[in-house]
Amino acid sequence: MKPPPFDYHAPRSVGEALETLADVGEHGKVLAGGQSLIPMLNMRLAAPGHLVDINRLTELATLDVEPGGVRVGALARHAQVERSEEVAAAQPLLRQALRLVAHPVIRNRGTVVGSLVHADPAAELPAVLAVLGGSVRLARPGTVRDVPAAGFFTGILESAAEPGELAVSAFFPLLPPRSGTAFREVARRHGDYALAGVAALVGLDDDLRITTARVACVSVGPAPVLVDVTEACGHRPPASADWASAARAVQERTAPEADIHATADYRRHLTGVLAQQALRDAAREALDA
Amino acid sequence: MNIAITLTVNGVVRQVEVPGRRLLSDCLRHDLGLTGTHVGCEHGVCGCCTVLLDGEPVRSCLTFAVTVDGHDITTVEGLAAPGGAMSPVQRAFAECHGLQCGFCTPGFLCTVTALLRDNPAPSEEEVLEGISGNLCRCTGYQNIVKSVHRAAEIMAEES
């Protein structure tokens, strides 16, 4: 239960970090909060030759509410984002989801961008980025690119971040007017990875009819499963929307696998129930918005 | 290759040379001889190794010593007053039987110390959420929850 040896790098600037990552290429791994990476090292599930520790890059510990959304820097801890009233007002889904991420002590250290890059299909934040249509900013020396959520999560624990690239920030778009969000999940114990979970976004028009309804589901595929259920909800006011039909549409799109924690059928069942609950919650928030 | 780091542990400046892969938990126990920090699961589940990093509780088994070079660490050894008088949280755990075998206790004490500093009068729900990341296989938790409320009382009485 001790990490394998690695060469340790402690860059003092983002520029130096990018140069180091470019040098070590596919043998390099970025260390931010370490709350997923260090367990994997301790259990010898990962053995990178070089660890590039970005914890001294305080210039990445940023949290900015911009006109179009919330930009979270690579060193912003879960706890910092969760506690920000400004962020909760601009994009409530972040706090709704972060309260379900592990335990408070883990959230003191873990980072939002780190969770995204780790791309665990059972994690909450990839689903948040997916349902909001956010993006991740990846940098290498002299180049920066923004990858939309739809193309960022490429498989189990795999993201579009390539060897030598550093994820410097993530962008979570603001909610449009008259819209609401919710996150619902079921875990064996509070703080565990969810057996199933659903992030939902519902938007209404001026007549308070549903114009947007979509969900992103966790633990039912290799990456967050994004499903647009606007049609299934039937362009009606939330009180008469066909939530059951929306839930069935979500279930049809999931391909869960069985493991020691739950059968595939049980995960699909939970996803349907949670989708209905999350959509109702989000619609209620939209009516109050 | 070892790396020279400086940590301020319980108010004392300590210099040590460690390999990059040295976990903070092992650095505290093996390099600095502070065995009050216990190591349970080594993958962040049990909470026994929780210490305060610049005042905030963190898992020392999920932190590399080299990462926290230059920072302040408080371990269970640093919770009592300089003369050795136990802190309100420590007294409350003793008074309410908040421990039996004591293995998980250092992690609980550090977690609860920070919890009550940030929230001096937590609700039942806030206490449960606050200690949700620490496992105890002896007490059944009821007396730990009582200890947290009692510690809050003691701190209010003494402030």
Give pLDDT tens digits for A83-99.
Answer: 999 999 999 999 999 99
Q: What CATH number does residue A117 fall under?
A: 3.30.465.10
Q: What CATH number does residue A232 fall under?
A: 3.30.390.50
Collapsing DSSP states into helix, strand and coil, what is residue B56? Answer: strand
- Nearest alpha-carbon partner for A91 in A61, A112, A70: A70
Whole-angstrom distance, CA of residue B104 vs CA of residue B52:
15
A100 and A243, same domain (yes or no):
no
CATH topology of domain B2-78: Ubiquitin-like (UB roll) (3.10.20)
DSSP tag of A56 = T
A145 and A2, same domain (yes or no):
yes
- Nearest alpha-carbon partner for B69 in B129, B1, B7: B7
Residues of B in contact with A108 (CB under 8 A): 53, 56-58
> Would the CB atoms of A5 and B21 count as touching at under 8 Å?
yes
User: B interface mutation test: which of A12, A30, A38, A52 has the most B CBs within 10 A?
Assistant: A38
Q: Does A12 touch chain B (CB under 8 A)?
A: no
Domain span at residue A160 reads 1-52+60-174
User: Can you state the angle between helices A264-288 and A243-253, rounded to 10 degrees?
Assistant: 140
Average pLDDT of the residues in B44-72: 98
User: B interface mutation test: which of A41, A103, A107 has the most B CBs within 10 A?
Assistant: A103
User: In chain A, how many domains are there?
Assistant: 2
Give pLDDT tens digits for B126-137.
Answer: 999 999 999 999
A137 and A257, same domain (yes or no):
no
Q: Which of B42, B53, B67 sits opposite A42 (nearest CB)?
A: B42
Q: Which residues, in sequence order, are CB contacts of B137 under 8 Å at separation 6+?
A: B101, B104
Residues of B in contact with A20 (CB under 8 A): none
Residues of A in contact with B27 (CB under 8 A): none
Band (pLDDT 50/70/90 cuts) for residue B159 is: confident
Residues of A in contact with B44 (CB under 8 A): 35, 38-39, 106
A24 and A122, same domain (yes or no):
yes
Q: What is the mean pLDDT of chain A?
A: 96
Q: For the whole model, what pTM was predicted?
A: 0.96
Last residue of a domain, one of A131, A150, A174: A174
A126 and A210, same domain (yes or no):
no
Q: Which two three-digit tokens encode residue A139?
A: 């940098």
Residues for chain A: how many in total? 289
A136 and A189, same domain (yes or no):
no
> Would the CB atoms of B23 and A53 count as touching at under 8 Å?
no
> Would the CB atoms of A8 and B59 count as touching at under 8 Å?
no
- Nearest alpha-carbon partner for B49 in A32, B41, B148: B41
- pLDDT at position B1 is 82
Q: Does A30 touch chain B (CB under 8 A)?
A: no
- Range B88-158: architecture per CATH: Orthogonal Bundle (1.10)
What number is the ipTM of this complex?
0.95
Residue ranges per structural domain of chain B: 2-78, 88-158
Q: How many C-beta atoms surround the C-beta of residue B119 within 10 A?
A: 13
A195 and A234, same domain (yes or no):
yes
A168 and A208, same domain (yes or no):
no
> Would the CB atoms of A104 and B130 count as touching at under 8 Å?
yes
A149 and A190, same domain (yes or no):
no
